[in-house]
Each structure stands twice: as structure tokens, then as C-alpha cells.
Amino acid sequence: TAGITQAPTSQILAAGRSMTLRCTQDMRHNAMYWYRQDLGLGLRLIHYSNTAGTTGKGEVPDGYSVSRANTDDFPLTLASAVPSQTSVYFCASSATLAGGADTQYFGPGTRLTVL
């Protein structure tokens, strides 16, 4: 069972360029999330989606956008990357439709460096 896959594994990106981080899950989970993890800080929620067709802003949404065209995919786009977006990005999913405290399952992460 693949669970959640993310691509690419790592990327070096020039400042000002755009990039899409891909995330796919095969668990038919309704909810999906994007987090960034920085040294010394907890995971911070960027955007989330409770179900296909809906998205919401998390704690740190500026500079990022997401879409949820179907249940399985939840891409994260950086329109114009800045060095402060250097981080490890984790995609996660949970069964929850709306509300609830279901366990979140994480993808392997994408390590992004913006120069």
C-alpha cells in the first residue's frame, strides 16, 4: 500500500521561480493537509482541504496556493518562491470529512531550498 506519495523528494529552486509540490494518496481519505517543518518550530499548517472541491487557509498560507480537484491529489504551488520558503514540506491526510480528530498520515516530505 503506497499511502501518501510526494514529489519531488528534494528541489533547489531559484528565488522568483514557481514550483508545484505534488501529493497523492490512495487511502480515499477526505481530508488533506500541507505543513512546513522548520528547525526549532512545530509543524505549521499551510493549507488544508476537508473534501474534494474545497480548500482552507492554515496558519501560514501567504505565498502558497492549493487545489483539490479530486479526492486523491492535493498539489501545493509556490507562485514566486522566496528564500524564507526554504523548508521541509509534508503532505498529510485523514479520513475526517469535517471535524473530528482522526489520525493524520504523512507523506515522506519534500525538502525545498530556495536560493
Q: Which cell is 13 given?
A: 529552486
Q: How many residues does the chain have?
A: 115
Tell whether residue 36 is a contact of another protein (CB under 8 A): no
CA dist., res. 26 & res. 4, Å (int): 7
Residue 54 C-beta: closest distance to another protein, Å = 14
Residues contacting another protein: total by CB under 8 A: 20
Tell whether residue 2 is a contact of another protein (CB under 8 A): no
Identify any residues that bridge with 31 across adjacent strands, giving them in sequence order.
94
- Residues in 73-102 that interact with another protein by CB under 8 A: 90, 96, 99-101
- Residue 73: closest CA among 22, 107, 3: 22
Footprint of another protein (CB under 8 A): 40-45, 48, 58, 90, 96, 99-101, 103-109
